[in-house]
Amino acid sequence: MKYAETVLDLVGNTPLVRLNKVTDGIAATVLAKVEYLNPGGSSKDRIATRIIDAAEREGLLKPGGTIVEPTSGNTGIGLALVAQQRGYRCVFVLPDKVGEDKRNVLLAYGAEIVVTPTAVAPEDPESYYSVSDRLAREIPGAFKPNQYSNPNGPLSHYETTGPEIWRDTEGAVTHFVAGVGTGGTISGVGKYLKEVSGGRVQIIGADPEGSVYSGGTGRPYLTEGVGEDFWPTAYDPSVVDTIIASSDAESFELTRRLAREEGLLVGGSSGLAVSVALKAARDLPADAVVVVLLPDGGRGYLGKIFNDKWMRSYGFTDESSESTVRDLIG
């Protein structure tokens, strides 16, 4: 019989699929690594197991303990999967820009959530960083994974995501593109691919316009899970060759096109990453192989990026790209 012992054994080994339509006019091969096929629906499943294993080993998390983390949703899902298997309680702190669909997913997995305002500085006592610090101090037996500084985040990508890309492209990958949030993905994958290729693979970070990685001030943008208003220690700039920014409008347009043209229902940070991958690939020769990582699926964004009314309220869509809902009876 072929089966996994628990869902945790289904994390990783996600496939690569070639992008064929949105790459019109591009000579290089562009391959998407489809991280929404992880059991919790995102690349964050990878970091959760490694972070919790290490915390147990180091005595930071004991039986019956509580996991407290600021998370835009995906890290929470990954941590909730691990917590369920091992009997921990989860309390997650979310900024209010995170959509209701995503909040409900965390609740469905049995986690507790606390929602904080997005439009405050990180040092404000109301910010999601401050609130999670306070909860971690106040709840007995609390462990705060802190994905922004926990070295096990980037390590999980160094040990799994990077080797999978090298193995599946048979060493032909020439460029790797990923959105930068905590920086864990790009730092771990980047370090591995640099080492294994002798520095040949180019590592390109995708950043929402306004975020610090591409020289912004941290001003608000709508793309979730990527960009920062501070420099996390999980981010290792030494393995990143270039950072390219895209606007929310560019990222969301690509997000919608990936669903309609490539059959990939993904989130806004995937649209961002592909938009940057296409900018980078435009001038590359036919033998270049660009791997772009799609962190999560689109179900959590149906009321936002895939909702014409929401998009129009920010001035993002023109009529030609709007969804068609026709009343066939009337």
Active site residues: 44
**Closer to ligand PMP by Cβ: residue 253 or 296:** 296
Give the rounded distance of the alpha carbon of 218 from its chain centre. 18
- Specify the stretch interacting with ligand PMP by CB under 6 A; choose among 48-56, 101-109, 122-130, 218-226: 218-226
**327/330 Cα distance (integer angstroms):** 6
* E strand residue ranges, the chain: 16-18, 29-34, 66-70, 89-95, 112-116, 142-143, 175-179, 202-208, 242-246, 289-294
Compute the least distance from the CB of residue 134 to ligand PMP, in Å.
Answer: 21
Compute the least distance from the CB of residue 153 to ligand PMP, in Å.
Answer: 7
Give the rounded distance of the alpha carbon of 40 from its chain centre. 12
Q: Is 72 in the site for ligand PMP (CB under 6 A)?
A: yes
Q: Is 150 in the site for ligand PMP (CB under 6 A)?
A: no
**Closer to ligand PMP by Cβ: residue 109 or 288:** 109
Please give the angle made by the CA atoms of 82, 88 and 93, to the nearest 5 degrees. Answer: 85
Per DSSP, helices labelled H in 90-243 are: 100-108, 128-138, 152-156, 162-168, 184-196
Q: Between the CA of residue 104 and those of 40, 90, 298, what are the distances in Å?
A: 14, 14, 15
Q: Between the CA of residue 82 and those of 49, 57, 100, 129, 150, what are the distances in Å?
A: 6, 15, 23, 22, 17
Compute the least distance from the CB of residue 223 to ligand PMP, in Å.
Answer: 8
Among 61, 177, 226, 284, binds ligand PMP (CB under 6 A): 226
Q: Is 225 in the site for ligand PMP (CB under 6 A)?
A: yes
**Closer to ligand PMP by Cβ: residue 65 or 179:** 179
Please enumerate in sequence order all residues whose Cβ is within 8 A of that of 71, keeping only pairs 6 or more positions apart, or say none.
Answer: 79, 92, 93, 94, 147
- Specify the stretch interacting with ligand PMP by CB under 6 A; choose among 51-59, 82-90, 164-172, 220-228: 220-228
Among 145, 210, 267, 271, binds ligand PMP (CB under 6 A): 267
Using CB under 6 A as the criterion, what x/- string covers residues 170-209 for binding ligand PMP?
---------xxxxxxx------------------------
Compute the least distance from the CB of residue 75 to ligand PMP, in Å.
Answer: 7
Give contact residues for ligand PMP (rule: CB under 6 A).
72, 74, 179-185, 224-226, 267, 269, 295-296
